[in-house]
Amino acid sequence: MADSIGPDDLIPMDLFTGSEPIAIDLVYANGAHPENIFGIAAYHPRARMILHKDLARVVLLAARALHQKHQWTLVLKDGLRTVEAQRALMDTDIVRQNPHWLEEPRLLSSPGQGAHPRGMAIDVSAADDNGSFVDMGTLFDAMVPESARAYRGFSQEILDNRAALENAFIEGAESLGLPMLALPSEWWDFRFPASYSLNFAPLFDEDLPPSLKMSVASGIGPEEPDFDRLAKDVLLSI
């Protein structure tokens, strides 16, 4: 039986934006976002970027390393994607027009599958010290062969940028004794592998306290956790 992820296991990453080199750009909360290929808002407009606390630790270490070495800010694009949000993204014209996205190896997980509905996957990009996006060859969520990590048809600068991003996540996870998968098909996706994440049950909106709900803006749920304590615990653990 899979373990449950409780509210005390989750952390909204906006708690760290004032003190850590991260920025939040929650793409799927805005149907008109230029990088939202699905064209719908799978999250409500006030949804927060949420991660499992263990992945949050890796993200903060990776962000610090990238800022120290390259003066980059790590831009967080997507994290926890509840089962309801997964279903909403699947039920879009672009998915129906691209059925091969659902063939193995899948570019889109079925509702409840994968690391996103457990808060154990993060999609990212990076910005330089002038606020310009660091060139990774493609935009976030570009479903093209060039997005794959194995694609080598870019300039050395772009390949080095991708390598810097990947190394920061791998090294951050290793320093904490945690596993890390840099998803081969997407340069922006870092996650705990299935051997780790699938030990936990996926999250529905009803599993979340009101302030953490993703697909609906209100409603009952578990009691709100002490976010100040959770944030302090995360920072002290890295």
Q: Is residue 24 classed as helix, strand or coil in its secondary structure?
A: strand
- Three-class SS state of 91: coil
**Full-prediction pTM beyond 0.85?**
yes
Q: How many Cα atoms occupy the beta-carbon half-sphere of 23 within 13 Å? A: 15
β-sheet bridge partners, residue 121: 191
Reading the chain (238 residues) residue by residue, the pLDDT tens digits are 789 999 999 999 999 999 999 999 999 999 999 999 999 999 999 999 999 999 999 999 999 999 999 999 999 999 999 999 999 999 999 999 999 888 887 878 889 999 999 999 999 999 999 999 999 999 999 999 999 999 999 999 999 999 999 999 999 999 999 999 999 999 999 999 999 999 999 999 999 999 999 998 888 889 999 999 999 999 999 9
